[in-house]
Amino acid sequence: MINILLNGCSGKMGTTISSLCKNYPNLKIAAGVDKFISKSDYPVYSNIFDCKEVIDVILDFSRPDSLDSILEYSKEKNLPIVLCTTGYTSEQLSKIEQYSKVIPVFRSANMSLGVNIVNNILKKVSALLYKDYDIEIVEKHHNQKVDSPSGTALLLANTIKAAIPEKTDYVYGREGSGKRQHSDIGIHAVRGGSIVGEHDIIFAGQGETIEIKHSAMSRDVFAVGALKACEYMGGKPIGFYSMDNVLENSI
């Protein structure tokens, strides 16, 4: 049995994870952490350092401002950590990388297995298509999402950029006058209503367009990915891990 400490347990994703975890006989939410204390099947603390339960993995689905306390607790207790939060600054990403040298750290900008499969496809096709196609990314999310563009859009864009040998530049939205440069990788964010998450990668050529699209119908897909990551990270040695490791382990 892998005992999970769920940070952000009272949020929308936290409650979804708590519900779906019951479908995994080898996983258990042993305790939760949230500034909003809600009624739960497990103890919930406002401060992670107050947790008294035996924990095997820390799962974080909260906000970037909780990163420091999670990393310090993980280091103090020598526990693997699964980071599912998005919107980290470059300084925070650097800090996560530093901590992966002393504790097992898993981080992914998107916990959906489907999104990560799309990301692997982009690694293979982006350089092949770049010469004859313009590349644009359009992402859509609900009106409560705080970061823009989404962490997933940046994940996909970074994958495309890394796969193309030539120099490319990100263009966030467009305004004013002027032709599109072929070296542009357009990134566009739409916010509205209750859209769970949509990402459309467009390769627009002369006379044809190729689109690779992923749509999340519910938050369940992210919760399933997070729980699979917890399964994978149980007992892992020091290092940095991603959803690619989970996918490789599933094949």
Of the residues 77, 95, 145, 236, which is catalytic?
145
Of the residues 141, 199, 214, 228, which is catalytic?
141
Q: Residues annotated as binding site?
A: 8-13, 39, 84-86, 108-111, 142, 151-152
Show Cβ contacts of residue 7 under 8 Å, excluding neighbours closer than 6 positions: 32, 33, 34, 48, 58, 59, 60, 61, 62, 66, 70
Measured in residues, the chain has a length of 251
Alpha carbon of residue 95 to chain centroid: 17
Q: Is 28 a catalytic residue?
A: no
Q: Is 214 a catalytic residue?
A: no
Q: Residues annotated as binding site for NAD(+)?
A: 8-13, 84-86, 108-111
Show Cβ contacts of residue 127 under 8 Å, excluding neighbours closer than 6 positions: 163, 164, 165
Judge contact between 103 and 83, C-beta under 8 A. Answer: no
State in Å, rounded, how far the first CA of the chain is from the last one: 23
Place of tokens 């997933």: 152
User: Rounded distance, CA 228 to CA 226, Å?
Assistant: 5
Q: Residues annotated as binding site for (S)-2,3,4,5-tetrahydrodipicolinate?
A: 142, 151-152
Q: Residues annotated as binding site for NADP(+)?
A: 39
Query: What are the catalytic residues?
Result: 141, 145
